[in-house]
């Protein structure tokens, strides 16, 4: 077997080990972050389970750290007290970005991990089988429920050779995105193998698995080998290591080759992570802003390279350079060895160890700016400035461009790449993590006035609905429900945050949808790509959206739609997309009858034609929809067992 199959086999809790069938996986670890965690713990609370049933669950504060009002601070207090009550480790603001910190202090090769953040596959760099998921799925895992996925294809990515100077792991994943596109990874796990794997450190591997999310992949994974062992040993966690490598005769569903010897510095152009070209092909593009950090490129190795490249130099006068170390550990070690001085002296701005600009939480570029970021997404408007031109690149390209003031190939700008020596022992101050109470029943989860109790939905769709919005391909969760400093504080207030639904696409959507009893959203290919934010399903459901009819869906968003009782339909004939207009009233047989009896979903349009829609759902998923959502379904199952 290959690495992914070995871990899946060990954790299989239901279903058949067959490609394309639904399987249930036992989950060992979970993580949440504060933009999605408040809702996840409200959902966990609603299940009535007194304590988490996983081996390890961690609640991180790393997204909503800009405290411009009481809302974020109230959420942090709720998360702190909920963690104490329910048996969860709490990582406070300033401790670092969940994926970077989890890699350093908690990740274990061979374990399963789900997180309420789409970049949870970062753990694959350590040999974990790690998935991004909606908050409700994470709450279910904490309650001891299995995690359901469609058994994916396993793609072997054979890495040949070794990277040249000033070419990095970021260029490997950008090359994969160039080849596969943001839709190419749906229904797949990318497993990295070949001689090139041995040349990549765990942080480099984690950069690749982190951004594998942008492929639409189920997850990505590296073997756990001697390099993994060395990383864990330096973190003081050698006992967590075990070897997990593919069998000599391991088989894969697909294979592809990336020759590291020939890779050059790459860059993703606005406004999609797969619009990848060689840096040298971009001529004379002036840069206004550079951001180095995020969960993709904020490791100690990344920061030490940046510090060395900036040593004795000043950034261009027209460039704002912001640097965010990924964890308290990274920031402390930069300070300890003097590298932080080089970064500060260059003129860079040091941000706290948090997600920050990646999710539009500060550092929005000026109007029409060109912003180079070592982040993982460059969707239009995600930076906080709608007309900003955001490029994705490696720290090597970012630092060279910050120095010159224009997009620059580091191979042309610098000489030999400096050798970065990693410390034998990393600083490991676990005192910052707050442990849960021994008796959680005595702890009250504190809820501020912005935290609104969950709304219970029911399945009330009958035989007609109105097209409330029609959108095109690659609609992301940022399009559906944006992040940013203005909106994120309302993640625990569903009525308020719903007002921002599709704000960047159609500001009138929320008002129009709330005045429609049964709404349909019509979309193109890859609807719902991007983050795991379940609010992108929850808010539309609050606004009476009952169906999303699209050409295809991104994995996590599809699950979130089902979890909150929205029927996900796909066009049997994609050409029928053209026959539907916003405002159309569509009719069909009784929806509950269609789902419960497995009938064809035939939709009558106002133009006299009939459209066939598919709903390739399992019986479990149909039952969830008919119950009005996953939380209702779990309660009904629990009641049946009593």
Catalytic residue from among 11, 34, 59, 62 = 62
Single out the catalytic residue among 116, 294, 298, 531.
531
Residue 164, exposed/middle/buried by CB under 10 A (0-12, 13-18, 19+)?
Answer: middle
In whole angstroms, give the CA distance from residue 567 to residue 518.
Answer: 12
- For residue 639, pLDDT over 90 is answered with no
**Are the C-beta atoms of residues 564 and 534 closer than 8 Å to each other?**
yes
Q: Which tens digit of pLDDT belongs to each residue from 311-344?
A: 999 999 999 999 999 999 999 999 999 999 999 9
* pLDDT over 90 at 568, yes or no: yes
Does 603 score more than 80 pLDDT? yes
- Average pLDDT value for residue range 452-472: 94
Catalytic choice (11, 63, 102, 328): 63
Q: How many residues does the chain have?
A: 642
Q: For residue 34, indicate whether it is catalytic.
A: no
Other Cβ atoms closer than 10 A to 336: 11
Question: What whole-number distance in Å separates Cα of residue 19 and Cα of residue 188?
Answer: 10
Helix (H) / strand (E) element for 500: namely none
pLDDT in tens, 286-314: 999 999 999 999 999 999 999 999 999 99
Q: Is 63 a catalytic residue?
A: yes
Span 3-262 CATH architecture = 2-Layer Sandwich (3.30)
Q: How confident is residue 635, by pLDDT bands cut at 50, 70 and 90?
A: confident
Pair of tokens at residue 33: 């972050």
Active site residue 377: yes
pLDDT at 563 over 80: yes
Catalytic residue among 28, 74, 75, 117: 117
Asked if the model's pLDDT at residue 638 lies above 80, the reply is: no
Question: What CA dihedral angle connects 616, 618, 622 and 628, to 10 degrees?
Answer: -110
Q: Decide if 99 is catalytic.
A: no
Please spell the DSSP secondary structure of 305-363, one letter per residue: HHHHHHTT----TT-EEEE--SBHHHHHHHHHHTHHHHHHHTTPEEPPSS-GGGGTSS-
Query: What is the percent of the chain where pLDDT is above 70?
Result: 99
Sign of CA dihedral 112, 118, 123, 129: positive
Separation of alpha carbons 105 and 517, rounded Å = 48
Q: Which of 11, 119, 377, 479 is catalytic?
A: 377
pLDDT tier, 642 (very low <50, low <70, confident <90, very high otherwise): low
Give the separation between CA 552 and CA 575, rounded to whole angstroms: 13
Domain boundaries, the chain: 3-262, 266-410, 464-641
Q: What pLDDT is stored for residue 455 in this prediction?
A: 82
The pLDDT of residue 105:
98
Catalytic site includes residue 237: no
pLDDT, one tens digit per residue, over 222-236 is: 999 999 999 999 999
For 197-236, what is the HEC assignment?
A: HHHCCHHHHHHHHHHHHHHCCCEEECCECHHHHHHHHHCC
CATH architecture, domain defined by 464-641? Alpha-Beta Barrel (3.20)
CATH class given for the domain over 266-410? alpha beta
Measured distance CA(23)–CA(16) in Å, rounded: 6
Among the listed ranges 28-32, 116-120, 206-210, 483-487, which one has the minimum average pLDDT value? Answer: 483-487
* Residue 454 confidence (pLDDT) above 70: yes
Averaged pLDDT of the chain: 96
Catalytic residue among 234, 271, 533, 557: 533
Annotation says 441 is catalytic = no
Q: Is residue 456 over pLDDT 90?
A: no
pTM for the structure as a whole = 0.95
Tell me the pLDDT band of 636, cut-offs 50, 70 and 90: confident
pLDDT at 264 over 80: yes
Contact 216/475 with Cβ under 8 angstroms? no
In this chain, the answer to whether the domains covering 3-262 and 266-410 adopt an identical fold is yes
Q: Which of 390, 370, 358, 387 is nearest to 483 (CA)?
A: 358
Identify the H or E element spanning 535.
helix 535-542
């Amino acid at each position: 077997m290959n690495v992914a199959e070995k871990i899946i086999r060990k954790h299989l809790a239901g279903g058949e080990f067959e490609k394309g069938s639904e399987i249930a996986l036992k989950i060992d670890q979970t993580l949440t972050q504060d933009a999605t965690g408040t809702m996840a713990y409200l959902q966990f609370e609603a299940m009535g389970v007194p304590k988490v049933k996983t081996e390890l669950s961690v609640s991180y504060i790393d997204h909503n750290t800009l405290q411009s009002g009481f809302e974020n601070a109230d959420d942090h207090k709720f998360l702190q007290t909920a963690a104490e009550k329910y048996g969860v480790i709490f990582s406070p603001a300033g401790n670092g970005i969940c994926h970077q910190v989890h890699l350093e202090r908690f990740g274990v090769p061979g374990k399963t991990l789900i997180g309420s953040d789409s970049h949870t596959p970062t753990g694959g760099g350590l040999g974990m089988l790690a998935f991004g998921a909606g908050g409700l799925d994470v709450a279910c895992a904490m309650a001891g429920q299995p995690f359901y996925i469609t058994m994916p294809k396993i793609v072997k990515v054979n890495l040949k050779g070794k990277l040249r100077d000033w070419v990095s792991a970021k260029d490997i994943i950008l090359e994969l995105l160039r080849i596969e596109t943001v839709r190419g990874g749906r229904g797949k796990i990318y497993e990295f193998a070949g001689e090139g794997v041995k040349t990549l450190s765990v942080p480099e591997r984690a950069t690749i698995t982190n951004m594998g999310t942008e492929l639409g992949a189920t997850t990505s994974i590296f073997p756990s080998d001697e390099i993994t062992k060395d990383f864990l040993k330096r973190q003081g966690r050698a006992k967590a290591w075990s070897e997990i490598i593919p069998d000599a005769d391991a088989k894969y569903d697909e294979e592809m080759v990336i020759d590291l010897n020939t890779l050059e510095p790459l860059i993703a152009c606005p406004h999609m992570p797969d619009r990848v070209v060689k840096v040298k092909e971009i001529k004379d593009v002036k840069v206004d802003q550079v951001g180095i950090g995020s969960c993709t490129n904020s490791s100690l190795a990344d920061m030490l390279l940046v510090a060395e490249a900036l040593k004795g130099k000043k950034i261009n006068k027209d460039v704002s350079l912001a640097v965010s170390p990924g964890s308290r550990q990274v920031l402390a070690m930069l300070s300890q060895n003097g590298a932080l001085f080089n970064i500060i002296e260059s003129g860079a701005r040091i941000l706290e160890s948090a997600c920050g600009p990646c999710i539009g939480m500060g550092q929005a570029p000026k109007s029409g700016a060109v912003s180079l970021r070592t982040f993982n997404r460059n969707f239009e408007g995600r930076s906080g400035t709608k007309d900003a031109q955001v490029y994705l690149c490696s720290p090597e390209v970012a630092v060279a461009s910050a120095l010159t003031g224009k997009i620059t190939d580091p191979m042309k700008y610098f000489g030999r790449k400096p050798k970065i020596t990693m410390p034998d022992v990393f600083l490991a101050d676990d005192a910052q993590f707050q442990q849960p109470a021994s008796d959680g029943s005595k702890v009250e989860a504190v809820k501020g006035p912005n935290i609104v109790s969950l709304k219970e939905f029911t399945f009330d769709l009958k035989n007609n609905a109105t097209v409330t919005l029609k959108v095109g391909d690659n609609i992301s969760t940022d399009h559906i429900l944006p992040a940013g400093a203005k909106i994120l504080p309302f993640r625990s207030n569903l009525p308020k945050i719903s007002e921002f639904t599709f704000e960047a696409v159609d500001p009138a959507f929320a008002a129009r949808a709330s005045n429609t009893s049964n709404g349909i959203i019509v979309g193109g290919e890859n609807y719902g790509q991007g983050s795991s934010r379940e609010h992108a399903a929850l808010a539309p459901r609050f606004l009476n959206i009952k169906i999303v009819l699209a050409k295809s869906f991104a994995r996590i968003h599809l699950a979130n739609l089902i979890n909150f009782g929205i029927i996900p339909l796909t066009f049997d004939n994609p050409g029928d997309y053209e026959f539907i207009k916003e405002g159309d009233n569509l009719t069909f047989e009784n929806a509950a009858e269609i789902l419960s009896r497995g009938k064809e979903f035939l939709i009558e349009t106002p133009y006299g034609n009939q459209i066939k829609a598919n709903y390739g759902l399992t019986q479990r998923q149909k039952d969830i929809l008919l119950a009005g959502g996953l939380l209702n379904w779990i309660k009904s199952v629990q009641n049946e067992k009593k």
